[in-house]
């Protein structure tokens, strides 16, 4: 899955494919075998030396800030498309009654409460007054 609206500047088609496969949850060896020629000369299996060499190349790509930026853009795009659907699914459970409705209501309040009522700060301030001054014991 390569998203058209995501900036791909500076990455090769092979790197874009590797990022998309990583986003889909493929493990590194599977990505290497799909993105690189790691077959043996007789094309009957995989050459482990080629797999290892290309796994190192994939790891270098993964550490590249441009690759990371593209991967994060894939995640953000997915999250943006899925968030509303997920929230609507939770909201539809409000009519189920019983524990499911209670859970759905709590989920919506937790996730959307700050957005709706405008309380963006999630900190609690605890102030203790009239406590003795702390110090070290006096020498006798």
pLDDT in tens, 19-66: 999 999 999 999 999 999 999 999 999 999 999 999 999 999 999 999
Contacts of 104 (CB under 8 A, 6+ apart): 90, 91, 93, 94, 96
Domain residues for 95? Answer: 13-117
Identify the pLDDT of residue 126. Answer: 75
Contact 32, 58 (CB under 8 A): yes
**Does 53 reside within a domain?**
yes
Identify the pLDDT of residue 66. Answer: 94
**Does 101 reside within a domain?**
yes
**Does 8 reside within a domain?**
no
**Does 62 reside within a domain?**
yes
**Does 107 reside within a domain?**
yes
Q: Give the global pTM.
A: 0.64
Q: Virtual CA dihedral for 8, 13, 17, 22, nearest 10 degrees?
A: -60
What does the mean pLDDT of the chain come to?
Answer: 85
Average pLDDT over residues 109-119: 74
Neighbours of 43 (CB within 10 A): 7
2 pLDDT higher than 70: no
Confidence of residue 18 (pLDDT cuts 50, 70, 90): very high
Confidence of residue 128 (pLDDT cuts 50, 70, 90): confident
Identify the pLDDT of residue 123. Answer: 65
**Token output for 46:** 């995989």
**Does 65 reside within a domain?**
yes
**Does 79 reside within a domain?**
yes
Query: How many domains does the chain fold into?
Result: 1
**Does 57 reside within a domain?**
yes
């Amino acid at each position: 899955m390569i998203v058209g609206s995501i900036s791909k500047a500076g990455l090769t088609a092979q790197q874009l494919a590797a990022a998309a496969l990583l986003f889909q949850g493929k493990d590194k060896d599977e990505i290497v075998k799909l993105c690189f020629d790691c077959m043996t000369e007789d094309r009957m299996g995989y050459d482990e030396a080629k797999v290892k060499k290309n796994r190192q190349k994939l790891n270098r790509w993964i550490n590249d800030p441009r690759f990371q930026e593209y991967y994060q853009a894939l995640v953000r795009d997915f999250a943006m498309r899925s968030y509303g659907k997920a929230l609507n699914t939770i909201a539809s459970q409000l009519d189920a009654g019983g524990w499911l409705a209670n859970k759905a209501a709590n989920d919506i309040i937790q996730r959307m409460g700050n957005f709706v009522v405008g309380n963006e700060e999630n900190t609690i301030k605890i102030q203790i007054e009239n406590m003795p001054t702390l110090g070290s014991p006096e020498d006798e």
